[in-house]
Structure 1
């Protein structure tokens, strides 16, 4: 009887670990699915999601679509450049000065985007948008930690 319980517990534990790894793999695939879209499609989807989340007016939707389209085009171009460098073997680890410039440019872009969103959204929508941005940033950090660990050493989700 004890042996059956031990075997059952072992099977349940293995099944739980397998499901956790599968869920992590599914989350890792999401960015690749979005990268297959054109900038216009990505901007449209993001704008519609924001409309549902923030209850945007049609004027706000148009302005945010333009902003999202601009960002999507820049992101697509950057990814194409990285892919071309990777294929040609020119992709190298950036120097400290290059990393500083990239981080500085990214922060300038975030400041600029925040200022634009502040002019487009009303105060209630802006607070909601900011909270969502913070949540997404935390999820990004969590994913980065998962990526840094080997799959066999990935920390378990604690609740």
Structure 2
């Protein structure tokens, strides 16, 4: 009987922990593009030890990029990826990479060499995490389709 009670308590506590609300990514979706830009700038200031001048410049860039990202997101929602031709997909991917290259060039102008190296390494880690998350999602989708 004691084992049953312990098992029930353990099971309910695990379920309650697993259903916590407010994952960081979901919280960020509630913010406006400008609010996201401010938070991103502050995080980067802490991470890269930016000067006040760099902070101001980065905030302006982040606001611009956040607005562009919001517009692109709205545009992509209206598209049906499955109905896109390979040329349309290529064009979309090419535009995305051109944007990333432009952002990287702007960051290189803004940051000193040491800060740029730290930023570049952190971007590599973020892209690796994103890749892992996509692989995990695709794996889950395949399991549910079977």
Query: TM-score under structure 2 normalisation?
Result: 0.78
Matched, 1:31 2:21: no
Which of 51, 54, 67 is equivalent to 1:57? 51
1:149 is paired with a residue whose SS is helix
Matched, 1:105 2:99: no
- Partner Cα separation in structure 2 for residue 48 and residue 98 of structure 1: 36
TM-aligned CA deviation for residue 33 of structure 1: 2.3
| Counterpart for residue 80 of structure 2 | 91
Which of 108, 114, 120 is equivalent to 1:130? 120
- Partner Cα separation in structure 1 for residue 94 and residue 76 of structure 2: 19
| Counterpart for residue 105 of structure 2 | 115
Structure 1 residues not aligned, in runs of 5+: 5-10, 155-159
Q: Deviations over 1:106-157 (max 9, x none)?
A: 1111111111111100000000000000000000000001110127959xxx
Query: TM-score under structure 1 normalisation?
Result: 0.72
Which of 116, 123, 139 is equivalent to 2:129? 139
Please give the residue correspondences for 1:148-159 in structure 2 after superposition, counting only pairs within 5 Å: 148-150=138-140, 153=143
- Partner Cα separation in structure 1 for residue 21 and residue 130 of structure 2: 15
- Partner Cα separation in structure 1 for residue 21 and residue 116 of structure 2: 31
Q: Which piece of structure 1 moves more, 102-111 or 145-154?
A: 145-154
Residues 82 and 114 of structure 1: is their aligned pair in 2 closer, same or farther, counting only changes over 3 Å?
closer
Structure 2 residues not aligned, in runs of 5+: none
Q: Deviations over 1:24-75 (max 9, x none)?
A: x979x54332122111100000000000000000110111111111111111
| Counterpart for residue 40 of structure 1 | 34
